[in-house]
Amino acid sequence: MQIGLVTYKPEFVEGYDVHVYFSKWVDGQVFPAAKGMQNDVTVFCDAKAIREDPSIVSLSKGGPALRRNRKSNLAFDFVCPTHLGYRKKVFEYLDSVSSQDIQGVTLNLYHFADLDYCTCPRCTEQREKSGLSWTEWRAHTITAFLKEAKTHTKGTFAVEMFPDPVLAKERFGIDFAAIAELVDYFHVPLSSRDYFTNYWVDTIVRDFVATLKKPVVVELSAEMPTDEKIDALLRTVAYISRHNLMAVLLLVHDSENARQVARFAVHNEAFREWLQTYEFKEMSRIVDNWAKIY
């Protein structure tokens, strides 16, 4: 198992094998590609684009796909996935990212907002013409989008997802079996403010490893201000390191945050003894490697 970072700053940090850089954000900010890294591009969540042209927002019978519409429980504002003008802008950005010397591209939030989206006139007309059911048309639309998007990328191609292993197709149009044909790996974000309670992380990781037909990478939040929280995070990484994962990625503010986590692990005797006692071989190897540096 590799250990890596998801970060807002394009900085390589010693002791981490994988670097994922957020190059396009949910608020609509875009940044130049990070060379040598996996560039994570947010697709249909773009608050800035929706502010500039509210007509591109995705719709449901309960209203638009906006955070402020509390008829849905959305974390971000969603553009309609069939809006060709917006898709073109995304493809142009992917072209610019892929013109650089990057490791690859990860797409994030490339799906429908939730079960009851999108009912805009364009989506309604396309679905009726297709003859497909609501669920099948939405899944087909997202898979077709990913196929087209992939032609605008280079290197390692991966996708994130809303971490629902059961209803992803019905809710978001994410067809894991079809998408497995396109990607090199799946990136599962399991963000939390802390991991004092971690059975749900272990459970969801098991479900995804059993379900997905490509390698799995799991992302946990590491923007932790206290020692207790870092300790709980590291023990959670240790537990999931027992599953067949390609990598665990830690979401950090910056490179100092990443070093702080590694230093904490190396100099925490109780934690290292715990790893030995319960035979967390993969995690012990990672911490032993950190100990050479930190």
Q: Which of these ranges, 74-82, 107-115, 221-229, 243-251, lies near Zn ion under the rule CB under 5 A?
A: 74-82
Q: Which residues of 39-72 are buried (b: 16+ CB within 10 A; e: fewer)?
A: bbbbbbbbbebbeeeeebbbbbeeebbbeebeeb
Residue 148, both tokens: 């087209």
Binding mask 3-32 for Zn ion (x = CB under 5 A): ------------------------------
| 20 contacts 38 by C-beta, under 8 angstroms | yes
Residue of 1, 94, 118, 237 interacting with Zn ion (CB under 5 A): 118
123 is an interface residue for Zn ion by CB under 5 A: yes
| 120 contacts 80 by C-beta, under 8 angstroms | yes
Residue of 120, 205, 216, 234 interacting with Zn ion (CB under 5 A): 120
Residue of 1, 18, 80, 188 interacting with Zn ion (CB under 5 A): 80
Q: What is the dihedral of CA 146, 246, 289, 236, to 10 degrees?
A: 100
| 246 contacts 217 by C-beta, under 8 angstroms | yes
94 is an interface residue for Zn ion by CB under 5 A: no
Q: Which of these ranges, 15-23, 114-122, 165-173, 263-271, lies near Zn ion under the rule CB under 5 A?
A: 114-122
CB of 240 vs Zn ion, minimal distance in Å: 36
37 is an interface residue for Zn ion by CB under 5 A: no
CB of 88 vs Zn ion, minimal distance in Å: 16
Inter-CA distances, 226 with 52, 231, 239, Å: 40, 9, 20
CB of 50 vs Zn ion, minimal distance in Å: 13
**Nearer CB in complex with Zn ion: 84/270:** 84
CB of 241 vs Zn ion, minimal distance in Å: 41
CB of 123 vs Zn ion, minimal distance in Å: 3
| CA–CA gap between residue 244 and residue 227 (Å, rounded) | 28
| 46 contacts 77 by C-beta, under 8 angstroms | yes
CB of 117 vs Zn ion, minimal distance in Å: 7
Omega of the bond leading into 118 within 30 degrees of 0 (cis): yes
Q: Which of these ranges, 79-87, 88-96, 193-201, 272-280, lies near Zn ion under the rule CB under 5 A?
A: 79-87
Distant-in-sequence contacts of 166-169, Cβ < 8 A, 24+ apart: 166/207, 169/135, 169/139
| CA–CA gap between residue 294 and residue 287 (Å, rounded) | 10
CB of 121 vs Zn ion, minimal distance in Å: 8
Residue ranges that bind Zn ion, judged by CB under 5 A: 80, 118, 120, 123
